[in-house]
Every structure is written in C-alpha cells, then in structure tokens.
C-alpha cells in the first residue's frame, strides 16, 4: 500500500483556520480531485464536517474519529490509524494508493508512515490555526515542482511539489 499525503499550505505552513481553507485555487481543487478519485481518502472528523456536500464522490471516504457514535452517509469510520488503513486495503486491495487529506493532527500522525507527499505551496504568509509540519530534508526528497501563476480562477501564485520518502523505515 502506498500512503500519500495531499495538502495545500501557505509559505508559513498554515493549512487552514476555523476548519476552512484560506484560499481559492480552482486548479488545486482540480488537481486534488484528479489525484484522489477512485482511491480511498482518510480524514479526521473535523475535516469531514467541513466538506460542503459530505462524502467526496467516487472515493472511499474513511473518517478517523474518537466518537463511537459518529456516522454519516457514504463513509466508513475508523478509530485508529491502523484500522483506517485496513479499511482502505479491504476495499481497494494491498497495492492501492491511499490519500491522507487532513486535518492537521491527522497529517502529523500519518507523516512518519507516508511514502509520498503531494504539496501545494501557496505563495502567501497567512494567519491560521492549523499547520503542516516542516519536512525533514534528510527524510524527504523533492522529485518535482511546477509553478502556477495566479489568474482569474486562482487568487494566488502557487507551486505544486511532490516529495518521496528517502528511507521509509517508519522511524
């Protein structure tokens, strides 16, 4: 199983505030959809609750929660990281790619297990209450990057970056 984190961050590593994204980038939303469609996605309960239309279509939505009573249409609930990965594997097989889509504590918990990171760096510094950890350059190799200039559908310049874990020994 390939564990991939997909995240959009400001230059100062902010990912959101009050459970909301802080920018509107149509190209990034399209990239997110293109990459995650037909794959399992794992998210925290707050991230799920922030989705405007509930479960993301054409994906297996797995919600990590501590609330044993939590349920919603078209999702699977998990109460731990390993359980969430087992659900993904049971629905998509051993060789699937699973996407970790947030929020902040979920990213931090999965970072040591991740094989790959799809990171969109939004070229602003902004105030927020949720951040992404700084990547250890000894553990992550930048393998591609592509700059996108702001335009009528994207309010900020941004860069798509892809990282691969250098040594995945789950330290």
Domain layout of the chain by residue ranges = 2-165
Q: pLDDT tens across 70-94, in order? A: 999 999 999 999 999 999 999 999 9
**Six-digit token pair at 77?**
């609930």
Instruction: Assign 3-state DSSP to the chain and report helix, strand, coil percentages, each to 5.
Output: 20, 35, 45
How many C-beta atoms surround the C-beta of residue 132 within 10 A?
22
Q: pLDDT tens across 149-161, in order? A: 999 999 999 999 9
Q: What angle do CA 114, 163, 25 make, to 5 degrees?
A: 100
Write the class of the CATH domain 2-165.
alpha beta
Q: Which residues in the chain show pLDDT less than 70?
A: 168-171
pTM of the shown model:
0.94
Task: Check residue 171 and give its pLDDT.
Answer: 46
Task: Check residue 169 and give its pLDDT.
Answer: 53
Alpha helix segments (H runs only) across 12-160: 26-36, 45-50, 81-92, 104-110
The whole-angstrom separation of Cα 101 and Cα 81 is 13
């Amino acid at each position: 199983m390939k564990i991939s984190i997909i995240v959009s961050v400001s230059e100062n590593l902010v990912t959101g505030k009050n459970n909301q994204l802080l920018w509107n980038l149509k190209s990034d939303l399209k990239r997110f959809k293109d990459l995650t469609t037909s794959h399992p996605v794992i998210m925290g309960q707050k991230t799920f609750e922030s989705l405007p239309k509930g479960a993301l279509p054409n994906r297996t939505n797995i919600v990590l929660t501590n609330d044993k009573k939590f349920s919603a249409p078209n999702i699977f609930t998990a109460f731990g990281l390993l359980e969430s990965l087992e659900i993904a594997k049971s629905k998509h097989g051993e060789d699937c790619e699973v996407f970790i889509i947030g929020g902040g504590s979920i990213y931090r918990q999965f970072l040591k297990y991740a094989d790959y990171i799809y990171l969109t760096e939004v070229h602003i510094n902004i105030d927020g209450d949720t951040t992404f950890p700084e990547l250890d350059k000894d553990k992550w190799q930048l393998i591609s990057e592509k700059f996108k200039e702001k335009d009528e559908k994207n309010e900020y310049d941004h860069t798509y970056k892809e990282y691969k874990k250098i040594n995945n020994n789950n330290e």
